[in-house]
């Protein structure tokens, strides 16, 4: 899936007539997250593989076109990360967002950085530390999403937003997108450079008991 998404984003970048991308999920969810069986129990201090290169793929300085995440169902872990990396986030009222990385012994810094930028420190710390789910309605109220709509309206609303964005001058829109993604790249750097607490990119060999 990650390779197919990368190919689609590259195609979007290469097509000069395509001015806005909408990323949505097919089926019951936007993205239920990574398969933890594909993540080793130990690894190098930086992410590897297609999942680890998600930020590089979405935040590439070569792709200065806006992307909209249209989220329904679950957006968990890597799915939440993908939605937050997009420039605009629309969701259904019943959508469920969750960052369960802490409970799996994984690094969660990038989730905190991206969520606190949208919704503030208290909310970001709580949902990342506890791994609790929050609905699309709460996401919109907190500023994580720009709005939450009824399930039947999601794709129509995404198309309307994409049309409005496509009407804007390309150069100024590209400059705005690049400015935002530069900030996100800094968030990513902060997350990785502040991680030196014995965490590896992979599942913890043991979970500590509470």
- Ordered domains of the chain (ranges, CATH): 2-10+19-193 (3.90.226.10)
Checking if the pLDDT of 203 tops 70, the result is no
Q: Full-prediction pTM beyond 0.75?
A: yes
- pLDDT at position 109 is 87
CA torsion sign, 111 to 184 to 81 to 60? negative
- Give the CA distances from residue 159 to residues 53, 65, 71, 72, 94, in Å, rounded to whole numbers and listed in that order: 28, 16, 13, 15, 20
d(CA 195, CA 205): 18
Q: Percentage of the chain surpassing pLDDT 70?
A: 79
Q: What is the average pLDDT across 60-87? A: 90
- pLDDT at position 2 is 79
Comparing 16-30, 52-66, 105-119, 171-185, which segment has the lowest mean pLDDT?
A: 52-66
Tens of pLDDT, residue by residue over 27-73, are: 999 998 876 665 554 444 444 444 456 666 666 656 789 999 999 99
Confidence label for 85 from pLDDT (cuts 50, 70 and 90): very high
Confidence label for 186 from pLDDT (cuts 50, 70 and 90): confident
- Give the CA distances from residue 181 to residues 7, 14, 185, in Å, rounded to whole numbers and listed in that order: 20, 19, 6
Return mean pLDDT, the chain. 84
- pLDDT at position 156 is 98
- Any long-range contacts for 8-15 (C-beta under 8 Å, 24+ apart)? 9/57, 9/58, 9/63, 12/63, 12/65, 13/60, 13/62, 13/63, 13/65
d(CA 26, CA 112): 27
Comparing 45-54, 155-164, 186-195, which segment has the lowest mean pLDDT?
A: 45-54
- pLDDT at position 190 is 82
């Amino acid at each position: 899936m990650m390779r197919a998404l990368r190919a689609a984003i590259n195609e979007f970048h290469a097509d000069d007539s395509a001015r806005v991308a909408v990323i949505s999920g097919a089926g019951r969810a936007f993205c239920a997250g990574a398969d933890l069986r594909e993540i080793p129990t130990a690894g190098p201090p930086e992410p590897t593989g297609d999942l680890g290169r998600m930020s590089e793929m979405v935040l590439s300085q070569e792709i200065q076109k806006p992307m909209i995440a249209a989220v329904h169902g679950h957006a968990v872990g890597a799915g939440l990360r993908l939605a937050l990396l997009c420039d605009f986030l629309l969701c259904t009222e019943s959508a469920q967002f969750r960052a369960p990385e802490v409970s799996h012994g994984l690094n969660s810094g990038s989730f905190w950085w991206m969520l606190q930028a949208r919704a503030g420190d208290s909310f970001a710390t709580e949902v990342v530390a506890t791994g609790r789910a929050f609905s699309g309605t709460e996401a919109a109220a907190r500023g994580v999403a720009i709005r939450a709509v009824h399930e039947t309206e999601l794709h129509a609303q995404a198309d309307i937003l994409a049309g409005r964005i496509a009407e804007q001058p390309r150069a100024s829109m590209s400059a705005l997108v690049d400015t935002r993604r530069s900030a996100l790249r800094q968030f990513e750097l902060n997350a990785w450079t502040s991680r030196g607490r014995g965490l590896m990119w992979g599942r913890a060999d043991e979970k500590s008991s509470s």
